[in-house]
């Protein structure tokens, strides 16, 4: 087991979305650990940082967040046309509190896939700290972020759209996604992390949740895939519980800086692990 005490800085391509727990800053670690294959399978694609920075012939990219997958699908299909459409939401007039809440309400009501995708990007870039949060009714409820000038990620979106031509996107539970894995694939799992404390749980990025039973089931499925010759790499916090359910895997441990807080003093380093299951 390799144990290091380092703060890591990203050197790859940044995703166009802000995302709690995004892997941009450790993607080089993931690249070193993941074996090659014909296809990369991600049951928790999130912002797509790993997909953007690894080179596989094909990709199966899934997530339980339907709004996220809808955005990726629309961007893949429409490319530059959709990017131009999104730009209209990034104006000084749109960066006002009353407009934000009007757009948020519109996002929660609309059934138009293109509009919903553009509004999801708008809310991600204008909402508080980039959080993606839903209430018990499944409505997006992240408050206004009060940024001076939210960044419009045109170049990042165009790159994503080009690379997405090699990818299949699907809104699926992790169980269904992992059941699709086959020999020749490599699987990377970035689940909502086991909380470090009772007040540090940021797993509500899609309606539902991801508790300890789901964590255990994910680890069990990773072990079974490894027995079938399909390597699985998982990320998580470095806790006693995580080490117990990932027993039998090759574990790499290191420190990363957390950026979920809006105040720099609270952006502390936390222990993280990469656990590789392989036959």
Largest Cα span, the chain: 56
Is 242 found in the same domain as 204?
Answer: yes
The helices-and-strands tally (H runs, E runs) of the chain is: 10, 8
Residue percentage of the chain with pLDDT more than 70 = 87
Q: Is 165 within the bounds of a domain?
A: no
Distance (Å, whole) CA 77 – CA 248: 41
Residue 232's nearest CA partner among 278, 190, 173, 181 is 278
Range of the domain at 127: 74-143
Residue 9 has pLDDT above 60, yes or no: no
| DSSP-based helix, strand, coil % in the chain, nearest 5 | 40, 20, 40
Task: Give the pLDDT confidence score for residue 208 in this predicted structure.
Answer: 52
Give the dihedral of Cα atoms 195, 198, 204, 208; nearest 10 deg.
100
Domain count within the chain? 2
Is 102 found in the same domain as 194?
Answer: no
Domain containing residue 86: CATH number: 1.10.1020.10
Mean pLDDT of 255-267: 57
How high does pLDDT run on average in the chain?
89
Strand ranges inside the chain, DSSP E = 2-3, 39-42, 58-63, 167-171, 185-189, 232-237, 250-257, 269-277
Is 105 found in the same domain as 234?
Answer: no
Is 11 found in the same domain as 93?
Answer: no
């Amino acid at each position: 087991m390799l144990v290091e005490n380092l703060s890591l800085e990203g050197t790859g391509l940044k995703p166009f979305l802000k995302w709690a727990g995004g892997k941009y800053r450790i993607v080089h670690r993931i690249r070193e650990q993941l074996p090659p294959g014909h296809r990369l399978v991600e049951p928790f694609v999130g912002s797509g940082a790993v997909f953007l920075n690894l080179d596989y012939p094909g990709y199966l990219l899934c997530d339980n967040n339907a709004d996220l997958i809808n955005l990726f699908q629309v961007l893949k299909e429409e490319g530059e046309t959709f990017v131009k459409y999104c730009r209209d939401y990034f104006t000084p007039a749109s960066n006002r509190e009353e407009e934000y809440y009007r757009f948020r309400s519109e996002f929660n009501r609309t059934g138009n896939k293109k509009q919903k995708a553009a509004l999801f990007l708008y809310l991600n870039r204008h909402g508080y700290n980039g959080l993606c949060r839903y209430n018990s009714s499944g409505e997006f409820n992240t408050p206004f972020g009060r940024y001076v000038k939210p960044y419009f990620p045109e170049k990042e979106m165009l790159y994503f759209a080009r690379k997405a031509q090699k990818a299949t996107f699907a809104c699926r539970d992790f169980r269904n996604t992992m059941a699709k894995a086959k020999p020749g694939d490599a699987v990377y799992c970035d689940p909502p992390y086991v909380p470090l404390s009772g007040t540090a749980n940021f797993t509500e990025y899609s309606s539902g949740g991801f508790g300890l039973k789901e964590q255990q089931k994910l680890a069990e499925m990773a072990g079974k895939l490894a027995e079938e010759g399909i390597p699985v790499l998982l990320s998580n916090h470095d806790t006693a519980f995580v080490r117990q359910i990932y027993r039998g895997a090759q574990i790499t441990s290191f420190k990363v800086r957390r950026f979920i807080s809006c105040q720099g003093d609270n952006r502390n380093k936390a222990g993280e692990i990469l656990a590789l299951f392989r036959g």
